[in-house]
């Protein structure tokens, strides 16, 4: 049966290298499921596949958007399904790799059909957030959709803002669009979760941040400093350096905050993924890269 192998896990765990070796083994292509790698110009801060890596294996949905573009999990679902439909006509395996939780769920389970938000409205809500913080947005959401307000992580500004946008755009509660019905896919899905022992993962994260700085992350952030209000740039790595460029902290402090916030994000990713019982976990601290590759091939055979 035609299959999609989904290689997922926390940031810095080693998804890119293993996904490329896996793609070369199957002579397959890779769909990026990293919501920041969709944007061109952010190659260093998003650890996007290098030109050499992309020459070895074809990558889809990498660097295809401007930082000013809006792109939702729903749009990703449709784009990824179109790519899979085309690729699986001539091959049996395609690979998706990334750590963006909602985008992986959108691809594997489907996402509810939530209306596209008008850009003017989106900018108005984000301007409010920039001026007054999250509290007035929470207050409006509590009034317009108390059901979702009572279940959402109120510290997750992206989800709170998006829910309010939908309420304001449609005049209906955001929760009314959420059916949580799993959609059936015309291909087999094998989810492979990569993990490492915490100390090792944290060391890899810290080292990766140091490498990014050497490669020019500060220059990359400086290039987009005038556009720092954009949602695409409101992410770990850039927002800390924007504060440095604002004069709010030293560069050393900003770098340490990038490391700390990346480690925090990796924990959030693992918390999210561990709720999914369909994931087959491989601890890269316990086995070699080649053994991990063999294990994935074995699991794929078992599911076909």
Which domains are delineated in the chain? 3-112+181-302 (3.40.50.300), 119-177 (1.10.20.140)
Cα Rg of the chain (Å, integer): 20
The one-character DSSP state at 225 is: G
Q: Does the predicted model carry a pTM greater than 0.75? A: yes
Contact indicator for 6, 15 with CB cutoff of 8 Å: no
Give dist(CA 115, CA 45) in Å, integer.
30
pLDDT tens by residue, the chain, 304 residues: 899 999 999 999 999 999 999 999 999 999 999 999 999 999 999 999 999 999 999 999 999 999 999 888 889 999 999 999 999 999 999 999 999 998 999 999 987 777 778 888 988 998 999 899 999 999 999 999 998 898 888 888 888 998 999 999 989 998 887 766 788 999 999 999 999 999 999 999 999 999 999 999 999 999 999 999 888 898 999 999 999 999 999 999 999 999 999 999 999 999 999 999 999 999 999 999 999 999 999 999 998 7
Of 45, 21, 46, 44, nearest in space to 32 by CA: 46
Give dist(CA 152, CA 259) in Å, integer.
26
Please give the sequence-ordered ranges of beta strands (E in DSSP) within the chain, or none if there are none: 3-8, 30-32, 59-60, 93-98, 188-195, 279-283
Coil vs helix vs strand at 281: strand
């Amino acid at each position: 049966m035609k299959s999609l192998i989904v290689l997922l896990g926390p940031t810095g765990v080693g998804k890119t290298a293993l996904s490329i070796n896996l793609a070369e083994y199957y002579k397959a292509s890779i769909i990026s499921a990293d919501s920041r790698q969709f944007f061109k110009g952010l190659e260093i801060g998003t650890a996007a596949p290098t030109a050499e890596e992309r020459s070895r294996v074809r990558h889809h949905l990498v660097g295809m958007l401007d930082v000013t573009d809006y792109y939702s999990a729903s749009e990703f679902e449709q784009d990824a399904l179109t790519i899979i439909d085309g690729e699986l006509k001539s091959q049996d395996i395609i690979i998706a790799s990334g750590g963006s939780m909602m985008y992986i769920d959108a691809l594997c389970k489907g996402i509810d059909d939530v209306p596209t938000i008008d850009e003017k409205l989106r900018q108005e809500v984000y301007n409010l957030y920039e001026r007054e913080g999250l509290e007035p947005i929470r207050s409006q959401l509590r009034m317009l959709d108390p059901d979702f307000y009572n279940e959402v992580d109120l510290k997750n500004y992206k989800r709170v803002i998006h829910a309010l946008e939908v309420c304001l755009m449609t005049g209906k509660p955001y929760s009314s669009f959420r059916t949580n019905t799993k959609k059936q896919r015309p291909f087999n899905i094998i989810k492979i979760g990569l993990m490492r022992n915490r100390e090792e993962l944290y060391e890899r994260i810290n080292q990766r941040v140091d490498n990014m700085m050497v490669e020019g992350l500060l220059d990359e952030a400086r290039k987009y400093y005038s556009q720092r209000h954009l949602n695409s740039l409101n992410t770990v790595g850039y927002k800390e350096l924007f504060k440095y460029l604002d004069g709010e902290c030293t560069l050393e402090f900003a770098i340490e905050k990038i490391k700390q916030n990346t480690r925090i994000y990796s924990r959030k990713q693992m918390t999210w993924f561990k709720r999914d019982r369909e994931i087959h976990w491989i601890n890269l601290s316990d086995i070699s890269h080649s053994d991990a590759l063999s294990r994935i091939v074995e699991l794929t055979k078992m599911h076909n």
